[in-house]
Structure 1
Amino acid sequence: MKDVLYFNSMLTPKMITFIYWLLLLLVLFNGVVRMFATFQGITFTSFIMGLLTIIGGAIAARITCELLIVLFKIHDNVKTLASRPE
């Protein structure tokens, strides 16, 4: 706990998986709402837009979380290099 409070250990990498699944659920919910909850009834365009929202949102969430993980892996590698004796 002391490592987390004094920022010696990163907390965010442990949370990224949870955030990814939360983003996927939000994207799925948004896509389903776009598909089926229209004021003029279900149209082919709204259904396609909902599918595109689900597919594009899932890809965007994955890329965002992977970029965050890459940043933290770079941090870990730099920390390892800095702690090596010369």
Structure 2
Amino acid sequence: MNARQILYFDSMLTPKIITFVYWLSLVGVVIGGLGTMFAGRSFASFLMGLVVIGGGAIATRIYCELLIVLFKIHENIHKLAEKA
């Protein structure tokens, strides 16, 4: 990827960043879940922490996959436009 591709938006930079954002978000979900687990002193807060970790991990994965799908659609449309 050269500077011209980036400056003229011929190549997308964001898909490379999405993987980093996914792992960063996953760390945040785990920290938030652990905070929820041990913030209260009841079994319900412990279970809620597990739900936050599980649900947050799944939601983060789905969100990042949807973003990547959008960029894959862009790449395929770009390839079709080059063929025409």
Q: Would the TM-score normalized by the shorter structure come out above 0.5?
A: yes
1:22 aligns with 2:24: yes
Aligned CA-pair RMSD: 0.9
Number of the residue aligned with 1:84: 83
Number of the residue aligned with 1:33: 35
Whose RCO is larger (CA < 8 A, sep 6+)? 1
Secondary structure of 1:7's aligned partner: coil
- Structure 1 unpaired stretches of 5+: none
Distance in 2 separating the partners of 1:19 and 1:84: 33
Distance in 1 separating the partners of 2:4 and 2:83: 24
Report which of the two has the higher share of helix: 2
Secondary structure of 1:9's aligned partner: coil
Aligned pairs, number: 82
Number of the residue aligned with 2:65: 66
Distance in 2 separating the partners of 1:5 and 1:25: 32
Secondary structure of 2:77's aligned partner: helix
Moved over 6 A (4+): none
Identity %: 60
Please, which of 8, 11, 14 is the counterpart of residue 13 of structure 2? 11
Secondary structure of 1:10's aligned partner: coil
Distance in 2 separating the partners of 1:77 and 1:8: 13
